[in-house]
């Protein structure tokens, strides 16, 4: 950061302090630590004193070696090959110019790395930010495995959840994964919930049943907008992954396999009944998904808030500030974008009221609360979901050790091998892999 920018930060902090804001809170808005600000104030005229490395690695490529690599890559014999193929062929001819990574590094420094095929380069864009303010606006669904009596064979649980209320709106267990079963499930759930055309967005991952022709035809017929996660990124579908963990970590979930598909369906039926009507969900202020889906959560939360306010009036010394937040969550995001820029935009200095005021109220007037920006939801929709009801818990049985944890699948990172650019007058004679 330049000296001018540092002076600007120090001036803003002083102005905020004169308006009643605390220095630490002002530094947090400016994304500068208080210790750094104090160091700047001691030596305001000093800039960045970091010098960087003073020496060059002894094994670094010389300029002549780098030019040799560029010449070889641009030659007619090698310009249609990847660095991996170049290194192998150079070794066959008795030459060594550098490793594959060195080739890529030198080519990148000379702007010779790009996508060379006629098709557009493949890119995984982040899913669209979905926002739900009412039930039946955004649903999330996925499929998980359930052990069957046959070793290596599984039952497949299809589960559809409303992300606003966390209500399980539909489920089925089948012996195979198919777009036909998924289409019938979504069709039945939409009819039961009375979904109008163009009012619902259905989010899922990139599995074959989610993108099958029957499934897509069903969504088009119902007027449901599809939304897909990035390939191999389970974090883009967090609500379904969290629900699967809640299901498989129930104490009554069997340690081994289910005795049959009918027994598996009966267990899931009892779980759905408990989850929708008895489970106090931590992400929706500990009300049941069924109550929130029907709009009864506001009255429940208002009653809790009144109980806490009454307790505070009877013994105010037990609360130093506010009582517990029992306000209803009005917005639920799926894959929200970064809202850091909105925080910075809300930082303004009011010079018309120079008289000091309490720090808390001053910072509230100058900085937009995080809860307003993110709609009161945790980042990416992830949350803890503890067991809050002991009914149907199978008390006395041990917890199963499930080696397959659907919520912890890690994304696969694939690095594409980029190749050097072609000369403008060269046309490749074969398709590149």
Q: What is the 3-state secondary structure (H, E, C) of the chain?
A: CCHHHHHHHHHHHHHHHHCCCCHHHHHHHHCCCHHHHHHHHHCCCCCCCCCCCCCCCCCCCCHHHHHHHHHHHHCCCCCCCCHHHHHHHHHHCCCCCCCHHHHHHHHHHCCCEECCCCCCCCCCCCCCCEEECCCCCEEEEEEEEEECCCCCCEEEEEEEEECCCCCEEEEEEECCCCHHHHHHHHHHHHHHHCCCCCCCEEEECCCHHHHCHHHHHHHHHHCCEEEECCCCCHHHCHHHHHHHHHHHCCCCCCCCCCCCHHHHHHHHHHHHHHHHHCCCEHHHCCECHHHHHCCCHHHHHHHHHHHHHHHHHHCHHHCCCCCCCCCCCCCEEECCCCCHHHHHHCCCCCCCCCCCCCHHHHHHHHCCCHHHHCCCCCHHHCCCCCCCCCCCCCCCCCCCCCCCCHHHCCCCCCCCCCEECCCCCCCCCCCCC
Tell me the C-alpha distance between 376 and 390, whole Å.
Answer: 29
Based on the domain organization, do 136 and 278 belong to the same domain? Answer: yes
φ, ψ at 233 (rounded to 5°): -125, 95
pLDDT in tens, 246-283: 999 999 999 999 999 999 999 999 999 999 999 999 99
pLDDT (mean) for 227-243: 88
pLDDT, position 387: 39
Region 31-54 average pLDDT? 85
Confidence label for 102 from pLDDT (cuts 50, 70 and 90): very high
Single out the residue in 252, 287, 322 at which a domain terminates: 287
pLDDT at residue 225, as a whole number: 94
Position 233 in a domain: yes
When divided into structural domains, the chain yields a total of: 2
Q: Does 339 reside within a domain?
A: no
Supply φ then ψ for residue 170, to 5 degrees. Answer: -170, 150
The answer to whether residues 86 and 233 belong to one domain is no
Is the model's pLDDT at 105 over the cut of 80? Answer: yes
Which two three-digit tokens encode residue 91? 């070794």
Q: Average of pLDDT values for 198-221?
A: 92
Residue 264 and residue 227 share a domain: yes
The verdict on residue 390 lying in a domain is: no
Query: In the structure, what pLDDT confidence band is assigned to residue 338 with cuts at 50, 70 and 90?
Result: low
- Same domain? 111 vs 139: no
- Assess whether pLDDT exceeds 50 at residue 315: yes
Q: Is 406 domain-assigned?
A: no
- Shared domain for 283 and 134, answered yes or no, is yes
Q: What is the pLDDT of residue 153?
A: 94
Position 22 in a domain = no
> Which of the two residues, 322 and 355, has the higher pLDDT score?
322
Q: In terms of domains, do 283 and 198 share one?
A: yes
The reply to whether 274 and 197 lie within a common domain is: yes
Give the separation between CA 22 and CA 234, rounded to whole angstroms.
41
pTM comes to 0.57
Q: Is the pLDDT of residue 398 over 60?
A: no
Task: Answer yes or no: is pLDDT of 210 > 60.
Answer: yes
Q: 226: domain CATH number?
A: 3.30.420.10
pLDDT of 44 above 90: no
Using the CB atoms, write b or e for 3-18: b if 16+ within 10 Å: eeebeebbebbeebbe
Instruction: Clarify whether residues 151 and 210 are in a common domain.
Output: yes
As given in the structure block, the two tokens for residue 75 are 């030659």
**What whole-number distance in Å separates Cα of residue 127 and Cα of residue 229?**
6
Q: For residues 8 and 37, what is the distance between their CA atoms, to the nearest angstrom?
A: 11
Q: Are residues 149 and 241 in the same domain?
A: yes
Q: Are residues 106 and 249 in the same domain?
A: no
**384 pLDDT more than 50:** no
pLDDT digits (tens, 9 = 90+) for 112-131: 988 877 788 777 677 788 99
Distance CA 38, CA 26 (A): 13
Tell me, yes or no, whether 312 lies in a domain: no
Q: Pick the residue with more confidence: 392 or 136?
A: 136
Instruction: Choose one of 238, 270, 287: the last residue of a domain.
Output: 287
Using the 3D structure, point to which of 249, 267, 287 is the last residue of a domain.
287
Tell me what pLDDT residue 301 has: 96
pLDDT at 206: 87
Is the domain of 179 the same as that of 266?
A: yes
Decide: 413 and 318 in contact? Cβ < 8 Å.
Answer: no
In which band, very low, low, confident or very high, does the pLDDT at 55 lie, cut at 50, 70 and 90? Answer: confident
Q: For residue range 162-172, what is the model confidence (pLDDT) as tens digits?
A: 999 999 999 99
Residue 28 covered by a domain: no
Query: Which residue range(s) make up the domain with 232?
Result: 130-287
Tell me how far apart the alpha carbons of residues 433 and 422 are, in angstroms, rounded to a whole number: 15
Higher pLDDT, 326 or 371: 326
Instruction: Please give the mean pLDDT across all residues of the chain.
Output: 81
285: phi then psi, degrees, rounded to nearest 5:
65, 35
Please give the pLDDT value at position 430: 45
Is residue 98 a part of any domain in this protein? yes
Residues 143 and 249 in one domain: yes
């Amino acid at each position: 950061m330049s000296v001018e920018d540092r002076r600007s930060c120090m001036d803003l902090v002083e102005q905020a302090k004169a308006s009643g804001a605390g220095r630490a809170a002002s530094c947090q808005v400016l994304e500068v630590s208080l210790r750094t600000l104090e160091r700047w104030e001691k030596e305001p005229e000093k800039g960045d004193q970091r010098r960087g490395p003073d020496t060059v690695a002894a094994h670094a490529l010389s300029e002549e070696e780098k030019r040799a690599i560029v010449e070889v890559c641009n030659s007619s014999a090698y310009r249609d090959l990847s660095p991996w193929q170049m290194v192998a062929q150079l070794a066959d001819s008795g030459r060594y110019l550098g490793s594959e990574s060195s080739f890529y590094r030198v080519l990148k420094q000379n702007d010779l790395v790009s996508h060379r095929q006629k098709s557009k380069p493949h890119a995984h864009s982040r899913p669209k930010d979905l926002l739900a303010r009412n039930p039946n606006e955004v649903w999330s669904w996925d499929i998980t495995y359930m052990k069957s009596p046959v070793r290596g064979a599984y039952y497949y649980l299809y589960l559809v959840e409303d992300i606003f209320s966390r209500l399980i709106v539909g489920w089925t267990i089948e012996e195979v994964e198919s777009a036909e079963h998924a289409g019938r499930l979504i069709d039945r759930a939409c009819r039961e919930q009375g979904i109008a055309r163009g009012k619902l967005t259905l989010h899922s991952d990139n599995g074959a049943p989610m993108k099958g022709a029957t499934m897509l035809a069903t969504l088009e017929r119902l007027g449901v907008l599809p939304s897909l996660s990035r390939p191999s990124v389970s974090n883009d579908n967090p609500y379904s992954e969290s629900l699967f963990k809640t299901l498989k970590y129930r104490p009554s979930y069997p340690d081994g396999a289910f005795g049959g598909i009918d027994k598996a369906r009966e267990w899931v039926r009892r779980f759905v009944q408990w989850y929708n009507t008895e489970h106090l969900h931590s992400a929706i202020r500990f009300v049941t998904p069924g109550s929130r889906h029907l709009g009864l959560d506001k009255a429940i939360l208002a009653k809790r808030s009144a109980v806490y306010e009454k307790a505070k009036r009877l013994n105010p010394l037990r609360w130093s500030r506010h009582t517990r937040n029992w306000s209803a969550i009005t917005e639920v995001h799926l894959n929200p974008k970064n809202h850091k820029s909105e925080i910075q935009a809300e930082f303004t200095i009011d010079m018309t009221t120079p008289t000091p005021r309490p720090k808390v109220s001053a910072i509230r007037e100058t900085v937009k609360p995080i809860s307003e920006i993110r709609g009161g939801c945790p980042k990416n929709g992830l949350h803890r979901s503890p067991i809050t009801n002991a009914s149907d818990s199978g008390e006395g049985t041990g917890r199963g050790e499930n080696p397959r944890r659907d919520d912890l699948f890690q994304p696969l990172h694939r690095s594409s091998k980029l190749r050097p650019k072609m000369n403008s007058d060269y046309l490749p004679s074969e398709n590149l892999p």
